[in-house]
Structure 1
Amino acid sequence: MIVRRTIDKDELKELPKTVFPGRIYVIQSEAETERAVAYLQSRSVIGIDSETRPSFTKGQSHKVALLQISSEECCFLFRLNMTGLTQPLVDLLENPAVIKVGLSLKDDFMMLHKRAPFAQQSCIELQDYVRQFGIQDKSLQKIYAILFKEKISKSQRLSNWEADVLSDGQKQYAATDAWACLNIYNLLQELKQTGDWEIAALPPAPKEREEVTTGPISNQQS
């Protein structure tokens, strides 16, 4: 597999959209949280992401509303604005036996720490991890496009994540982001193990413009 270093916006626009193919579960109670976390604790690697209600007023901010955690088969959307960051979730985030893969994890954890204290363990930041493979882009959308030739829709990013009921579009968007992180990690791990990859060659440097020179103008008088 040839791994490209970057992809431009025009090429990204032309790619087909990807969507999470598994089952999505919206978690709105402590009992549901316990059952979901019991399943996730059995996984060796999970993808994570979070969503916060956007603020359009200066000085106003919101706490994390949604924590998405995905396996290959299903994604759980924990509505933290309804349940808070409960102890089962804290235990999962602190479990060193479960690898958590995400993008911009520093920002996610900074916001999650405002809901409850915890010491996250076994976390992989994709922005750093993909550098081993020569990928220079840092957005989830571009990294995914480079590796899978598909694009992730961002149309729901600024929607209301504290709505009483999440729309189907919101649920699919949230699940796809967490799953995409896991998908990227799994593919890169496979490439690392097989060695069946190489970094795309750099494009040739543009040629310097050749200056047009003319001979000296004669000032001789007859």
Structure 2
Amino acid sequence: MIVRRTIDKDELKELPKTVFPGRIYVIQSEAETERAVAYLQSRSVIGIDSETRPSFTKGQSHKVALLQISSEECCFLFRLNMTGLTQPLVDLLENPAVIKVGLSLKDDFMMLHKRAPFTQQSCIELQDYVRQFGIQDKSLQKIYAILFKEKISKSQRLSNWEADVLSDG
């Protein structure tokens, strides 16, 4: 199979949109965290992403506010500003039996380490992984478009809970 190396913005605009077909859960308590992590520990592969509120003041930074962890069926939005990086989440990140896939994982883990110490295991950096197939684009939107001929509908995905989930409190 021949894989394209890149895709331009105009071509990307023309692709059909896709949305996550599974259930999405906002996790705001330790009890919810424990139940979500118990489920995620049973998966062989999960996707990871984090969101940190931007700082526009020099020298000021914020802690990771949201940790998104997804299986094929469920996506969990952990509100770390409410729960912290709890031991069940640390155990999941350290579990070598669960493969964690993400984009710019080094940055995500660097920010997560500011919340709690842990040693992540079994991680796949998507940008490095797709390079072996000749894909040069670095954004998730473009990598997804090259592989699946669809574009991720980020605005649709965020619009329902953006104010509720991404705020710092």
The Cα of 1:152 is off from its aligned counterpart by: 2.1
Instruction: Check whether the contact 1:52–1:161 (CA below 8 A) recurs between aligned residues.
Output: no
Distance 1:163 1:154, change over 3 A: closer
Instruction: Check whether the contact 1:53–1:161 (CA below 8 A) recurs between aligned residues.
Output: no
The Cα of 1:155 is off from its aligned counterpart by: 4.4
The Cα of 1:55 is off from its aligned counterpart by: 2.1
> 1:39 maps to what in 2?
39
Instruction: Check whether the contact 1:53–1:162 (CA below 8 A) recurs between aligned residues.
Output: no
Instruction: Check whether the contact 1:96–1:121 (CA below 8 A) recurs between aligned residues.
Output: yes
The Cα of 1:157 is off from its aligned counterpart by: 11
The answer as to 2:118 corresponding to 1:110 is: no
Instruction: Check whether the contact 1:64–1:111 (CA below 8 A) recurs between aligned residues.
Output: yes
Alignment: residue pair count: 169
Q: What residue ranges of structure 1 are gaps of 5+ in the alignment? A: 170-222
Q: What residue ranges of structure 2 are gaps of 5+ in the alignment? A: none
Largest Rg, 1 or 2 = 1
Q: Distance in 2 between matches of 1:31 and 1:11?
A: 45
Q: Distance in 1 between matches of 2:71 and 2:84?
A: 22
Q: Distance in 1 between matches of 2:167 and 2:53?
A: 14
SS in 2 for 1:168: coil
Distance 1:163 1:83, change over 3 A: farther
Q: Distance in 1 between matches of 2:157 and 2:105?
A: 17
The Cα of 1:58 is off from its aligned counterpart by: 3.1
SS in 2 for 1:142: helix
Q: TM-score, normalised by structure 1?
A: 0.69
Distance 1:45 1:105, change over 3 A: same
For 1:41-84, what per-residue CA distance to the aligned partner results, in whole angstroms no more than 9, with x for missing partners?
01111111111112233333211011011111111110001000
Q: TM-score, normalised by structure 2?
A: 0.90
The Cα of 1:18 is off from its aligned counterpart by: 1.6
Describe how 1:190-205 pairs up with structure 2 within 5 A. none
Q: Distance in 1 between matches of 2:166 and 2:160?
A: 8
Matched-pair identity in %: 99
The structure with the greater share of residues assigned to strand is 2
Instruction: Check whether the contact 2:65–2:166 (CA below 8 A) recurs between aligned residues.
Output: no
Instruction: Check whether the contact 1:53–1:158 (CA below 8 A) recurs between aligned residues.
Output: no
The Cα of 1:114 is off from its aligned counterpart by: 0.3
Distance 1:156 1:119, change over 3 A: farther
Instruction: Check whether the contact 1:54–1:160 (CA below 8 A) recurs between aligned residues.
Output: no
Q: Distance in 1 between matches of 2:161 and 2:56?
A: 14
Instruction: Check whether the contact 1:53–1:160 (CA below 8 A) recurs between aligned residues.
Output: no
Instruction: Check whether the contact 2:40–2:46 (CA below 8 A) recurs between aligned residues.
Output: yes
